[in-house]
Amino acid sequence: MEKQELITKINEVLADEFEVDLQAIAPEANIKKSLQLDSLSLVDLVALVEENFNVSIKGAEITNIQTFGALYEFVYEKMA
């Protein structure tokens, strides 16, 4: 999967699941603030990404992912 295709798919999945406008999702935007995530919703986000993109995310790894750009890079590298 090409990187831009991956980014588009991640954005669509997150916008649909968390009911936010695609415009709220930008590479530099903070994931928790943009999606209004609490700790339980963050677990949902991890499960959603793992399920849709067949990657494994450990607890320590998700704490290092603050922005959508970091999430894109993380998933892209895991899929490589």
**CA dist., res. 8 & res. 47, Å (int):** 18
**What would the 3-class secondary structure string for 38-67 be?**
CHHHHHHHHHHHHHHHCCCCCHHHHHHCCE
pTM of the full predicted structure? Answer: 0.93
Q: What pLDDT digit, counting tens, does each position of 17-48 carry? A: 999 999 999 999 999 999 999 989 999 999 99
Please report, rounded to a whole number, the percentage of residues in the chain having pLDDT higher than 90. Answer: 91
> Class of 3-79 per CATH?
mainly alpha
Q: Which amino acid is at 35?
A: L
CB-CB contact of 75 with 53 (8 Å) = yes
Which residues are 30's β-sheet partners? 67
Confidence tier at 1 by pLDDT (50, 70, 90): confident
Structure-token pair, residue 64? 């290092």
Q: What is the pLDDT of residue 9?
A: 98
Confidence tier at 60 by pLDDT (50, 70, 90): confident
Q: Where are the domains of the chain?
A: 3-79
CB-CB contact of 67 with 29 (8 Å) = yes
